């Protein structure tokens, strides 16, 4: 069984060469030369927003103003358009907005006391939190509907909230990038999450370009999907047969030929090592990661997570906010036991290297490369004339600061993102640093641009793992062709890996990062009309 599943995994990755569409190519000589001048790559990995949901109102992008009604109107299970968008967010009920994208702030403004977790206004803290929306592997494929983009509402536990969008121009990030002395930046409006589904899986694709496996995983951990590929019923969807929405893919053979099956871990599952929740844990993984590639080449790097020192029990390290013998921080998880004192909103499944044996507790690699966000900020802000950052830095903000719908405020998270950008761009690192800001996945929210493999609209490599919904992405770097540049090249999350690999001469991890375009395309992109030099 184990050999069969691993062979199936290898075939799926090998098939990328057949599925890659025109338009995937490595950088030209000019762009590669510009990339070669970048000595520091910083990746800031935010949470759970589609492009249209967050950046759809940015000037000049392929955003809400360009959305074809054929890709905006939502349809019910029987294939009929909704008369209006039914809601079940406690702060939107009983409204039923028209069947089109609608502004979230008209119901839940930034000042609304609905945080955390989208509680009823007046019972929480300010920040304008919505409820969370389902964002899982099989559900997203149903929602995409082969590129029609018209079943987000039907395939969601949050119903019509999927069509809610933010006022882009009110976001702290937008305001920062429109200040008189803002850094030169690029918006990439063809950037897709690497894999269908949620945060756990897309963090894995960010560092390994692959879906983890549990060879011989228990039968009761495998999903069961109906004839539509759905693993569950929702308020607006009734399953057509037996279902089970679990951590692994359905057993083979697949119900539909376009659905992944086997021993793949696709939905949130806990890491094998502390910090983790006391629920089912994935066995340690051993396939290569970008960290392994960098270390083998002698290139220093780190994964900087907000709240890591507290969660990992690194007493006295940067970011430690507890006592020398007890968990004294009032925001610590009430079930914590010293020295493991995680913040209540620390997300264990957002720490992808903690799933790999190479970074197990007690290893030198863990101590060297899994670090706290406070250490990153201190290095970025250092006043020395030489940049204090490592050649490659991944930055993962803690839950309340990562923009995740439900437990986080979009506006507070955007404020924190601006703080991170200022730390890099007001210090010595800005002269040779590329900062990549993107989001792990769509958070269950609609977007109008079909991903590669969903219809014939968008080129790019694809397979049974993804890519999924379009997500926000921006790059700040020296050498851009204008103050504000638009990049229309097709990318997915593994483009981050491809950028690192091609800058530092590393071998690709899988077929996806070998085939995808890297982000050196930003150096060829044209200035936006209103902000050209």
| Residue pLDDT, tens place only, 447-488 | 999 999 999 899 999 999 999 999 999 999 999 999 999 999
pTM over 0.85, yes/no: yes
Exposed, middle or buried by CB within 10 Å (0-12, 13-18, 19+), for 335?
exposed
pLDDT the model gives residue 174: 98
Instruction: Please state the φ and ψ torsions of residue 332, each to the nearest 5 degrees.
Output: -70, 145
Exposed, middle or buried by CB within 10 Å (0-12, 13-18, 19+), for 239?
middle
Residues of the chain with pLDDT under 70: 1-28, 383, 530-533
pLDDT the model gives residue 530: 56
Instruction: Please state the φ and ψ torsions of residue 311, each to the nearest 5 degrees.
Output: -70, -35
pLDDT the model gives residue 11: 42
Q: Beta-carbon neighbour count of residue 172 at 10 Å?
A: 18
Helix (H, G, I), strand (E, B) or coil at 178: coil
Do the Cβ atoms of 91 and 111 come closer than 8 Å?
A: no
Helix (H, G, I), strand (E, B) or coil at 514: helix
The distance between the two most distant Cα atoms of the chain, rounded to a whole number of Å, is 64
The contacts of residue 169 (CB under 8 Å, 6+ apart) are 57, 58, 175
Do the Cβ atoms of 50 and 470 come closer than 8 Å?
A: yes
Q: How far is CA 335 from the centre of its chain?
A: 28
pLDDT the model gives residue 532: 42
pLDDT the model gives residue 528: 85
The tokens for 359 are 């970074």
**Dist CA 528 CA 99 (whole Å):** 31
pLDDT the model gives residue 349: 98
Do the Cβ atoms of 96 and 107 come closer than 8 Å?
A: no
pLDDT the model gives residue 30: 85
Do the Cβ atoms of 124 and 114 come closer than 8 Å?
A: yes
Interstrand relation of 484-487 and 164-165 (parallel, antiparallel or unpaired): unpaired
pLDDT the model gives residue 387: 86
């Amino acid at each position: 069984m184990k050999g069969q599943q691993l062979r199936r995994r290898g075939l799926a990755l090998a098939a990328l060469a057949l599925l890659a569409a025109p338009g995937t190519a490595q950088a030209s000589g000019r762009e590669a030369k510009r990339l070669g001048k970048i000595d520091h790559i910083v990746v800031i990995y935010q949470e759970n927003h589609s492009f249209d949901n967050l950046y759809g109102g940015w000037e000049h992008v392929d955003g809400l103003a360009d959305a074809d009604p054929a890709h905006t109107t939502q349809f019910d299970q029987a294939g009929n358009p909704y008369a209006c968008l039914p809601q079940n967010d406690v702060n939107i009920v009983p409204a039923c907005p028209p069947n089109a994208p609608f502004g979230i702030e008209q119901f839940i403004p930034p000042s609304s006391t609905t945080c955390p977790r989208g509680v009823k206004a007046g019972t929480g803290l300010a920040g304008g939190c919505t409820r969370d929306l389902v964002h899982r592997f099989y559900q997203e494929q149903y929602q995409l509907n082969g590129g029609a983009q018209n079943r987000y509402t039907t395939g969601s536990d949050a119903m019509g909230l999927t069509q809610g969008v933010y006022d882009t121009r009110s976001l702290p990030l937008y305001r920062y990038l429109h200040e008189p002395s803002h850094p030169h930046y690029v918006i990439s409006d063809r950037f897709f999450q690497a894999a269908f589904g949620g945060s756990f899986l897309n963090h894995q694709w960010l560092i390994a370009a692959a879906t983890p496996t549990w060879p011989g995983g228990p039968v009761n951990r495998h999903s069961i999907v109906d004839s539509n590929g759905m693993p569950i019923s929702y308020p607006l969807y009734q399953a057509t047969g037996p279902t089970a929405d679990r951590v692994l893919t359905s057993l083979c053979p697949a119900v539909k030929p376009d659905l992944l099956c086997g021993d793949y871990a696709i939905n949130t599952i806990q890491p094998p090592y502390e910090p983790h929740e006391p629920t089912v844990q994935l066995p340690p993984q051993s396939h290569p990661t970008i960290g392994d590639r960098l270390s083998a080449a002698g290139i220093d790097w780190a994964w900087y997570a907000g709240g890591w020192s507290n969660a990992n029990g690194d007493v006295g390290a940067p970011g430690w906010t507890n006592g020398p013998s007890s968990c004294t921080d009032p925001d610590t998880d009430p079930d914590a036991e010293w020295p493991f004192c995680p913040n209540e909103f620390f997300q264990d499944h957002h720490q992808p290297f903690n799933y790999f044996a190479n970074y197990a507790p007690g290893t030198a690699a863990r101590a060297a490369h899994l670090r706290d966000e406070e250490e990153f900020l201190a290095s970025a802000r250092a006043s020395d004339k030489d940049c204090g950052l490592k050649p490659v830095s991944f930055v993962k903000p803690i839950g309340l600061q990562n923009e995740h719908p439900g437990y986080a405020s979009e506006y507070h998270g955007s404020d924190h993102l601006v703080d991170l950008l200022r730390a890099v761009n007001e210090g010595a690192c800005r002269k040779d640093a590329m900062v990549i800001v993107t989001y792990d996945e769509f958070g269950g929210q609609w977007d109008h641009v079909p991903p590669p493999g969903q219809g014939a609209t968008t080129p790019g490599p694809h397979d049974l793992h993804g890519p999924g919904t379009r997500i926000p992405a921006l790059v700040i770097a020296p050498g851009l062709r204008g103050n504000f540049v638009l990049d229309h090249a097709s990318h997915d999350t593994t483009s981050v890996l491809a950028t690192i690999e091609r800058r530092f001469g590393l071998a690709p991890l899988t077929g996806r990062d070998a085939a995808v375009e890297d982000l050196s395309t930003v150096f060829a992109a044209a200035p936006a009309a209103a902000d050209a030099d």
